[in-house]
Amino acid sequence: MNLDVKGSKVLVVDDNPANIDILVELLSDYDVRAVLDGESALEAVREELPDLVLLDVTMPGMDGFDVCKQLKTSARTKEIPVIFLSASDDDSSILRGFDAGGVDYITKPYRASEVLVRVRTHLQLYSALRQLERIATTDELTGVSNRRKFLMRSEGLIRQAKAKNVPLYLAVIDLDGFKPINDTHGHHVGDAVIRAFASAAKEILPPNSCFARLGGDEFTVMLSGHEGSVLKRIELLRSLTEKIRVKGHDVKVAASIGVSRLSGPDDTIQSLLERADEALYQVKEKGGNTVIANL
């Protein structure tokens, strides 16, 4: 696991420019951005996510504790490590910092070696956690989301679609004739087909879609939009699958695709998958290589 954290993004928040100058000079190995108050800190994080926040406790307006609490209430920023900076070294202040969600507490005046060690340690921990999360949620063969990540993301997309009353579709995709490819040409060719399909799908699916490999030769994608445009995109994916080739091997690939639509307040990812699977079964019964929508 690569834990080289040089160049990591560090946000320094302190209302004293002299303190900022000290930290910027100390942290020359990192990409440091500095702001002077809590509101500016929240705005800076919204613009660009840092890998670590060094946050002064005592500032005019919003203090450091309140800034940290706000960061911890957002799913997008709650995992970013926050190290508090303060001239107060009493137990109550330190405990308050940890209660607010901080991972560490550095007292002023700064000791250069202490700052460097604490910053490097928490950047390495954060980097390791993100790498482990990627390993746990990414399909190793294709680099797309795995089943676990898909189920995690799909729940949020369903909630959002219900709240905003926007159409949401789920497609389950099964590659026709995949087992004979493995049996005839070997698993390395089968793997090449899987990678080629995932690559083709990523090329034509919109960035806000939720695409994943469920396992084997089965994939799924969740899409929002008008019915006609969604089904057209899914049909394009089916047609592109027929064009997959593996150099040096005569393989023929096609895709059977079943589609369901979010249809009511009681719908869940399980019910969407069940209806898409029913449509997929109908496709298989008809010989495969087509799209059937169970809407």
**What is the β-pairing status of strands 218-224 and 210-215?**
antiparallel
Sequence-distant (≥ 6) Cβ neighbours of residue 19 within 8 angstroms: 56, 85, 108, 110
CATH number of 9-136: 3.40.50.2300
Query: What pLDDT, on the 0 to 100 scale, is given for residue 2?
Result: 64
Amino acid at 165: N
**Nearest-CA neighbor of 171 among 124, 134, 210?**
210
Query: What pLDDT, on the 0 to 100 scale, is given for residue 25?
Result: 96
Q: Determine contact, residues 11/44, Cβ cutoff 8 Å.
A: yes
Query: What pLDDT, on the 0 to 100 scale, is given for residue 264?
Result: 85
Query: What pLDDT, on the 0 to 100 scale, is given for residue 75?
Result: 87
CA dist., res. 234 & res. 227, Å (int): 11
Query: What pLDDT, on the 0 to 100 scale, is given for residue 1?
Result: 61
147-294: CATH topology is Alpha-Beta Plaits (3.30.70)
Burial (CB count within 10 angstroms: exposed 0-12, middle 13-18, buried 19+), residue 127: middle
Query: What pLDDT, on the 0 to 100 scale, is given for residue 40?
Result: 96
* Domain parsing of the chain, residue ranges: 9-136, 147-294
How confident is the chain (295 residues) per 10-residue block, as mean pLDDT?
A: 87 96 96 96 96 95 95 94 93 93 95 96 96 94 96 93 94 94 92 95 90 96 94 96 92 95 93 97 96 92
CA dist., res. 2 & res. 147, Å (int): 25
Query: What pLDDT, on the 0 to 100 scale, is given for residue 208?
Result: 79
Look up residue 268 and give its DSSP letter. -
Query: Cα–Cα–Cα angle for 23, 29, 34, nearest 5°?
Result: 40
> Are 9-136 and 147-294 equal in CATH topology?
no
Question: For residue 93, what are its two tokens?
Answer: 């202040």
How confident is the model over 60-112, as pLDDT tens digits? 889 999 999 999 999 899 999 999 999 988 889 999 999 999 999 999 999 99
Q: Determine contact, residues 224/153, Cβ cutoff 8 Å.
A: no
**What is the β-pairing status of strands 52-56 and 82-86?**
parallel
- For the CA atoms of 22, 23, 25, 26, what is the dihedral angle to 10 degrees? 110
Question: For residue 122, what are its two tokens?
Answer: 């928490």
Kindly list the catalytic residues. Answer: 217
